[in-house]
Structure formats: C-alpha cells, structure tokens
Amino acid sequence: MLPETHLVLHHVHAAELRARAEAHRLAAEAGHPSDLRARLGWTLVEVGLRLVAPAKPVAV
C-alpha cells in the first residue's frame, strides 16, 4: 500500500472516531444514563419475576 493511501485512511478513520466520540459526549450530556440504567434494571426484575411465578392453569 502506498504511504499516501495509508495516511489518508488513517485521517479518515481518526475523523470517524472523533465524530463518534463527540456524538457519545453529546448524548451523555443530553440524557441521563442513570434513567436508562434504572429502566433496564426494573425491566430485568419484572422479567425475572415472571420467570419464577408459578404457571396459571389453563381454563378449558
């Protein structure tokens, strides 16, 4: 591979990484990750409770 091509690819990759990092930073500032963590936690609790609950008999 030519050195110039390698350098261009490196610059493109670095720009993509910077854009992803900036998007992640903006998303972290805009939303509250703890809200998402709490919702996920309670969803997992609900799923777990449904798994351990006894099965209801089927009415025929």
pLDDT band at 21, cuts 50/70/90?
very high
pLDDT value, residue 60? 66
User: Could you tell me the two tokens for 53?
Assistant: 């609950």
Q: Where are the domains of the chain?
A: 3-51
pLDDT value, residue 10? 92
> Is pLDDT at 8 greater than 80 in this prediction?
yes
pTM: 0.47
pLDDT value, residue 33? 62
What are the φ/ψ torsions at residue 22 (nearest 5 degrees)?
Answer: -65, -40
